[in-house]
Amino acid sequence: MADFPVIDLGKLNGPERATIMAQIEDACANWGFFELVNHGLSPEFLDTVERLTKEHYKECMEQKFKEQVASKVLEGAQAENTETDWESTFFLRHLPQSNIYEVPDLKDEYRKVMKEFASKLEKLAEELLDLLCENLGLEKGYLKKAFYGPVAKGPTFGTKVSNYPPCPKPELIKGLRAHTDAGGIILLFQDDKVSGLQLLKDDKWVDVPPLRHSIVINIGDQLEVITNGKYKSVLHRVNAQTDGNGRMSLASFYNPGSDAVIYPAPELVEKEAEEKNQVYPKFVFEDYMKLYSTVKFQAKEPRFEAMKAAAVAPIATT
Ligand SMILES: [Fe+2]
């Protein structure tokens, strides 16, 4: 099997541009995941983000995790627990409105750094969407525009801050159970020392190798719909680890606005597929998320089918 794709974005504006664009195309079409280096966020800045995230976990989250998750999951556990994840998380929303000053227990320095982190990642996400447009033959800005709702509130963007502490019984519980991501494009800054993230490729679980100061990118369900399956969201999971100091991961989700209408780009729909009714559905993003929240850990195909059925036979609400 080919190696997990690592792409040097720093070379994009040099003589190797065509090669880099081809690597991005291959990664999107065949992996649904890739790792970016020289992406514009400096190593020093990422070290600060990592340090503050780990300090915050120790000071404000660890005790709660032990009381609320660890004790519940491990008490007398014999069989595999398929209902809970071995993770400690909180969520920072950046767009359409930031909640960073409302989240309790964050130090001023951490708030400030995370605000800067979000704004750099937002810019990177939008740059990437335009690179995808170029590879797909869509006009520049198409994907960003597709994420805007009719009242142009813009995309939703947020960061799930997760810590995966060492787990004494990894055979009984996953760090995070297998799923595809619902949204648009996901940018992940993960711990550089502890692994655990895996994706499903050709029916085999493949490690996403921890690579210092890289950003892992993956495709969400909405990009699969807009590209009409040219790019696919891919199942991934996190295995709990027994040793070390635990793993940190910051997953930032650049998603459509809640009222955005999502549908395949007409340029990417072939006539034959249309005739055979093999085209992805059209729906309001919020409706997809309502469904996703109840079936996140199940296969995505029935979700697409359900959205298709809902579009064909709308349920009367009056
Ligand atoms: Fe995910």
**Length of the chain (residues):** 318
Give the 3-state DSSP-derived string for 160-220, with helices as H, strands as E and coil as C: EEEEECCCCCCCCECCEEEECCCCCEEEEEECCCCCCEEEEECCEEEECCCCCCCEEEEEC
The answer to whether the predicted template modeling score (pTM) of the entire model surpasses 0.85 is yes
- Which domain range does residue 49 map to? 6-312
> Residue 277: inside a domain, yes or no?
yes
Look at strands 204-207 and 283-284 and give their pairing.
unpaired
> Residue 16: inside a domain, yes or no?
yes
CB atoms within 10 A of CB 143: 28
The structure tokens listed for 274 are: 């249309």
Check pLDDT > 70 for residue 209. yes
> Residue 1: inside a domain, yes or no?
no
Q: Flag the least confident range among 118-127, 287-296, 306-315.
A: 306-315
Ligand 1: distance of its center to the CA of 224 in Å?
Answer: 15
Confidence of residue 318 (pLDDT cuts 50, 70, 90): very low
> Residue 317: inside a domain, yes or no?
no
pLDDT at 58: 92
Ligand 1: distance of its center to the CA of 180 in Å?
Answer: 6
Continuous segment of H or E residues that includes residue 17: helix 17-30
Burial-class residue 263 by CB neighbours within 10 Å (0-12, 13-18, 19+).
Answer: middle
Residue range 38-63: mean pLDDT, rounded? 95
| DSSP for residue 153 | -
Ligand 1: distance of its center to the CA of 274 in Å?
Answer: 30
pLDDT at 192: 77
> Residue 106: inside a domain, yes or no?
yes
Instruction: Give the residue with greater pLDDT, 73 vs 179.
Output: 179
Check pLDDT > 60 for residue 142. yes
Tell me the C-alpha distance between 214 and 120, whole Å: 14
Tell me the C-alpha distance between 176 and 159, whole Å: 16
What lies within 8 Å, CB to CB, of 11 at 6+ separation is 17, 19, 20, 38
* Total number of domains in the chain: 1
Ligand 1: distance of its center to the CA of 272 in Å?
Answer: 33
pLDDT at 68: 79
Check pLDDT > 80 for residue 211. yes
> Residue 14: inside a domain, yes or no?
yes
Ligand 1: distance of its center to the CA of 70 in Å?
Answer: 21
Check pLDDT > 70 for residue 317. no
| DSSP for residue 253 | E
pLDDT at 316: 52
pLDDT at 260: 95
Written as one letter, the residue type at 16 is: E
Ligand 1: distance of its center to the CA of 253 in Å?
Answer: 9
> Residue 56: inside a domain, yes or no?
yes
- Alpha helices by DSSP H, listed for the chain, are 17-30, 43-56, 62-65, 71-74, 108-136, 142-146, 221-226, 271-275, 285-295, 301-312
Ligand 1: distance of its center to the CA of 219 in Å?
Answer: 10
Ligand 1: distance of its center to the CA of 181 in Å?
Answer: 5
Report the CATH number at residue 83.
2.60.120.330
Tell me the C-alpha distance between 318 and 316, whole Å: 6
Tell me the C-alpha distance between 30 and 143, whole Å: 20
Ligand 1: distance of its center to the CA of 179 in Å?
Answer: 6
**Cα–Cα–Cα angle for 183, 31, 223, nearest 5°?**
25
Check pLDDT > 80 for residue 280. yes
Residues whose CB is under 5 A from ligand 1 (ion)? 181
Residue range 266-291: mean pLDDT, rounded? 88
| Cα 56 to Cα 92, 98, 177, distances in angstroms | 14, 19, 24
> Residue 318: inside a domain, yes or no?
no
The structure tokens listed for 48 are: 């600060």
State pLDDT tens for residues 158-189.
999 998 888 877 777 777 889 999 999 999 99
